[in-house]
């Protein structure tokens, strides 16, 4: 038996039944129905004889010392579950996931098992209520790149600029990029922040001294450009739309790069527009205009533009509808279409040239709370401006010392270039302050070591805004926090509901769901064009948007989290509807559409999930099964052992193996068998979906799909509908997993064993309302880990 198998056997047979064997009062499930710490019944069945369970199910492991994966069970004090809580929480997770005991070993009936689990959870929760442990967040929690971008947007009213690109990508931990433990500040990153602060300050104020810069918006190679794109003028094909912020009044150079011009037998026209107004029309004659050594044909126009956000588009004039008849029916890669027609590579904006201070922009209105008319008014006005900006940027009331720290920078800038130059320098200092770059939580000085205390209302406001908006608190939230009433339950829930209704709550969908469901991985997915010729970037972005809109509807419409599995509607545009085979959907805009096919209901039928869990040339039951274990069931498998052999692709006769046959051979390896027995059945149930989420009845080897599945605990199901029913047979398991993911994201740290009582309480409280997703969010905000903190030891 391999190491993994031994570990599985030890955990699944021994861990739980050792604690039952003790008959300890703290864990004994008596004849009465167990309840929650708040006195409400759990609804679990009663267990009358723990000793009988032990005699029946623990003959082989009773009185043995078992240590697997660093877990020692027989040394845990069963009379005091709080001391052994790390162990017992692992036991609960294994039991809830059906991993203990394994198939083939004696197993209690469901009533007995549920009663024991509930009794164990009740004991753990009671111990946690008696001695709360909220954990400890880092004192200094750096803003990640997304939070920095959103904070700049909300602080300075700067839309349409991706300032996050000025900073390096953040590392992931626990599946998210907002985890304090990996958000460190290196000297190199400090330099990047300094450079960003200087540039942002000049752009926000509209400083005419801003040097010319260039921004290139690239079109992905696999974006189909032979048909009309949503948002571009009718009668055009392909191209791109960009929203670009022009920082000052001045001249700018707009340049487009075209590929596929050389060798064309007919001419093509491409137009360049700003805010819907044509500013350039260029003819491609098929001869190519690029000089030797230049990769693309380039065309440009120089024109004056006012400061602010403008829409720049480039697109081709569509010749005739007959042009489409020359195209292949499949959506081949654009690089394979160069012989048919030219396509846009990128749009570049250069400037400003001869810049001038703009009269008014949203950012100038946000910054300049006053306008001095004399030199004597400049310093008091600057103090007023900095007081307002610093309060929002630092997420707390500012002190005279905070403002005094900024004034020398103002004076230095004013001597160099006047009042507005002084504001630029002071703002630059605000953006470099640790109070802006970090979410700071400090222990009160009078606390004993490891003392548990409630965080301040100001700190709570910051936790709340970065959880729901990935950004700084707005003025209303800060005012409530400064007034000391935010912690009041009714006030807090009112603020949460208000913030969820705000457009800024889309950040919770994009950032949380995008990482929980791994939608961000879509950008790196490139299915092989020989196997999936119809896949392109338009489909990729449609996949992502469909799932984001579904999650958003659950949150804003107060729908059950379980609807993520069962929703009888989705959001489609024409491109995605055609991919799914749904008729009657026209145009590039998304609209709510009823789901007629049962297999398409919920997340498990969406192309985004099915594509990110596949390989470039085929599906992967392993990857899909692992994704379900981690993100839906909350029972992630252990890391694979070293030197795992690759899948066999052919039989000895040379005939191709089906995926099921290949996985059967793979599981013959003892070191692989135990984990794959959990993962593979879940993935096989999704085999009717190909590597880009299209429905199929035959696999890559042209054999009929076998979507039947059987788990080690004996549970059997068929296809995606059977898998969905199996998941929903234990709804609290999925809701608990979602709550853990949300709590991880909300706290910016991993969920530990001492957080699990809070998770169970959140799930329990949400049950009466049908597990509404918004109720889970409110429950997290009310929870001990979110509102409290442990002092430094």
Q: Which of 602-606, 609-613, 670-674 has the lowest mean pLDDT?
A: 670-674
- CA-based diameter of the chain, in Å? 93
* pLDDT value of residue 654: 62
* pLDDT value of residue 149: 96
Q: Quote the Cα angle for 568-572-573, to 5°.
A: 165
Omega cis (within 30) before 646: no
Question: 304: pLDDT confidence band, cut at 50, 70 and 90?
Answer: very high
* pLDDT value of residue 290: 56
Report how far residue 466's alpha carbon sits from residue 472's, in angstroms, rounded to the nearest whole number: 6
What are the pLDDT digits (tens) for 772-788? 999 999 999 999 999 99
- In the chain, pLDDT over 90 holds for what percent of residues? 67
| Arithmetic mean of pLDDT, 335-360 | 84
Q: Which residue has the higher pLDDT, 642 or 283?
A: 283
* Residue showing tokens 């005419």: 208
* pLDDT value of residue 492: 98
* pLDDT value of residue 80: 76
Q: What is the pTM of this model?
A: 0.88
* pLDDT value of residue 81: 79
Question: 670: pLDDT confidence band, cut at 50, 70 and 90?
Answer: low
User: What does the H/E/C string look like for 199-254?
Assistant: HHHHHHHCCCCCCCEEEEEECCCCCCCCCCCCCCCCCEEEEEEEEEEECCEEEEEE
| Arithmetic mean of pLDDT, 230-234 | 90
Query: Any long-range contacts for 133-136 (C-beta under 8 Å, 24+ apart)?
Result: 133/452, 133/754, 133/790, 134/452, 134/784, 134/785, 134/787, 134/788, 134/789, 134/790, 135/747, 135/749, 135/752, 135/754, 135/755, 135/785, 135/789, 135/790, 136/789, 136/790, 136/791, 136/792
Question: 46: pLDDT confidence band, cut at 50, 70 and 90?
Answer: very low
Report how far residue 255's alpha carbon sits from residue 381's, in angstroms, rounded to the nearest whole number: 41
25: Cβ contacts below 8 Å, ≥ 6 apart: 79
CA dihedral 334, 336, 338, 344 (to 10 degrees): 10
Total Cβ atoms within 10 A of residue 721:
16
* pLDDT value of residue 97: 76
Q: Is the pLDDT of residue 47 over 90?
A: no
* pLDDT value of residue 556: 94
* Residue showing tokens 């004991």: 123
Q: Which of 32-36, 221-225, 481-485, 667-671 has the lowest mean pLDDT?
A: 32-36
| Arithmetic mean of pLDDT, 294-312 | 91
Q: Is the pLDDT of residue 410 over 70?
A: yes
Q: Is the pLDDT of residue 730 over 50?
A: yes
Highest mean pLDDT: which of 63-72, 262-271, 310-319? 310-319
Q: Which residue has the higher pLDDT, 320 or 122?
A: 122
Q: Is the pLDDT of residue 505 over 80?
A: yes
Question: 700: pLDDT confidence band, cut at 50, 70 and 90?
Answer: confident
673: Cβ contacts below 8 Å, ≥ 6 apart: 2, 4, 5, 667
H or E stretch covering 279: strand 277-284
- Sign of the alpha-carbon dihedral angle for 338, 342, 344, 348: positive
DSSP letters along 504-529, please?
Answer: GGHHIIIIIIHHHTTGGGGGG----T
Q: Which of 13-17, 92-96, 433-437 has the lowest mean pLDDT?
A: 13-17
* SS3 at position 472: coil
| Arithmetic mean of pLDDT, 225-247 | 92
* Mean pLDDT, all residues of the chain: 85
């Amino acid at each position: 038996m391999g190491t993994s198998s031994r570990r599985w056997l030890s955990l699944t047979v021994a861990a739980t039944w050792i604690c039952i064997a003790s008959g300890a009062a703290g864990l004994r499930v008596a004849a009465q129905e167990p309840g929650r710490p708040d006195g409400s019944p759990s609804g679990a069945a009663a267990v009358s004889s723990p000793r009988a369970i032990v005699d029946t199910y623990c003959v082989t492991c009773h009185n043995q010392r078992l240590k697997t994966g660093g877990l020692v069970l027989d040394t845990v004090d069963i009379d005091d579950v709080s001391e052994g809580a790390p162990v017992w929480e692992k036991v609960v997770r294994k039991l809830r996931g059906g991993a203990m005991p394994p198939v083939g070993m004696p197993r209690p009936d469901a009533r007995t098992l549920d009663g024991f689990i509930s009794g164990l959870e009740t004991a753990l929760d009671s111990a946690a209520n008696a001695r709360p442990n909220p954990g400890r967040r880092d004192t200094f929690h750096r803003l990640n790149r997304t939070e920095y971008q959103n904070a700049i947007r909300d602080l300075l009213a700067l839309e349409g600029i991706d300032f996050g690109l000025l900073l390096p990508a953040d590392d992931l931990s626990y599946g998210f990029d907002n985890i304090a433990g990996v958000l460190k500040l290196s000297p190199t990153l400090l330099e990047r922040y300094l450079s960003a602060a200087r540039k942002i300050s000049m752009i926000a104020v509209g400083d005419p001294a801003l040097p010319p810069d260039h921004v290139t918006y690239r079109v992905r190679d696999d974006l189909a450009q032979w048909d009309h794109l949503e948002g571009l003028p009718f009668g055009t094909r392909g191209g791109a739309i960009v929203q670009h912020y022009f920082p000052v009044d001045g001249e700018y150079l707009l340049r487009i790069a075209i590929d596929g011009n050389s060798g064309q037998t007919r001419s093509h026209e491409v137009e360049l527009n700003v805010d819907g107004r044509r500013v350039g029309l260029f003819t491609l004659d098929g001869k190519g205009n690029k000089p030797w050594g230049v990769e693309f044909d380039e065309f440009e126009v120089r024109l004056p533009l006012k400061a602010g956000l403008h829409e720049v588009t480039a697109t081709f004039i569509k010749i005739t509808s007959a042009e489409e008849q020359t195209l292949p029916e499949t959506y081949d890669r654009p690089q394979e279409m160069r012989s048919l027609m030219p396509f846009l590579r990128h749009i570049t904006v250069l400037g400003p040239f001869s810049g001038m201070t703009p009269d008014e922009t949203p950012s100038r209105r946000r910054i300049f709370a006053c306008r001095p008319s004399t030199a004597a008014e400049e310093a008091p006005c600057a103090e007023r401006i900095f007081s307002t900006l610093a309060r929002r940027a630092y997420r707390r009331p500012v002190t005279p010392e905070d403002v005094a720290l900024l004034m020398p920078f103002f004076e230095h800038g004013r001597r160099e270039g006047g009042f507005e130059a002084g504001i630029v320098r002071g703002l630059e200092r605000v953006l470099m302050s640790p109070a802006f770059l970090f979410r700071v939580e400090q222990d009160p000085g009078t606390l004993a070591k490891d003392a548990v205390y409630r965080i301040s209302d100001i700190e709570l406001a910051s936790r709340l805004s970065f959880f729901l908006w990935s950004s700084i608190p707005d003025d209303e939230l800060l005012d409530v926090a400064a007034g000391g009433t935010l912690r009041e339950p009714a006030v807090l829930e009112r603020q949460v509901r208000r913030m969820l209704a705000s457009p800024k709550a889309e950040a919770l969908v994009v950032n949380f769901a995008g990482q929980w469901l791994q939608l961000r991985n879509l950008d790196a997915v490139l299915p092989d064009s020989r196997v999936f010729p119809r896949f392109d970037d338009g489909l990729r972005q449609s996949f992502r948007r469909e799932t984001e809109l579904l999650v958003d509807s659950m949150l804003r419409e107060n729908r059950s989290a379980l609807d993520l599995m069962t929703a009888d509607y989705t959001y489609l545009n024409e491109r995605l509807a055609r991919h799914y085979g749904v008729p009657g959907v026209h145009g590039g805009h998304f609209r709510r559409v009823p789901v007629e096919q049962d297999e398409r209901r919920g997340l498990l039928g969406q192309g985004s999930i099915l594509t990110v869990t596949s390989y470039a040339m085929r599906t992967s039951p392993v990857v899909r099964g692992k994704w379900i274990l981690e993100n839906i069931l909350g029972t992630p498998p252990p890391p694979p052992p070293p030197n795992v052999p690759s899948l066999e692709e052919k039989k000895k006769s040379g005939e191709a193996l089906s995926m099921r046959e290949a996985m059967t051979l793979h599981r013959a390896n003892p070191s692989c068998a135990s984990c794959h027995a959990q993962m593979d059945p879940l993935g096989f149930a999704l085999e009717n979906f190909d590597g880009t989420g299209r429905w199929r009845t035959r696999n890559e080897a042209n054999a009929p799909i076998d979507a039947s599945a059987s788990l080690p605990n004996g549970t059997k199901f068929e296809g995606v509908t059977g898998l969905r029913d199996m998941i929903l047979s234990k709804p609290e398991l999925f809701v608990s997993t979602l709550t853990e993911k949300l709590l991880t994201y909300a706290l910016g740290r991993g969920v530990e064993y001492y957080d699990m009582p809070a998770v169970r309480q959140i799930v329990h409280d949400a049950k009466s309302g049908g597990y509404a997703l918004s109720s889970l969010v409110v429950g997290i905000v009310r929870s001990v880990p979110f509102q409290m903190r442990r002092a430094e030891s």
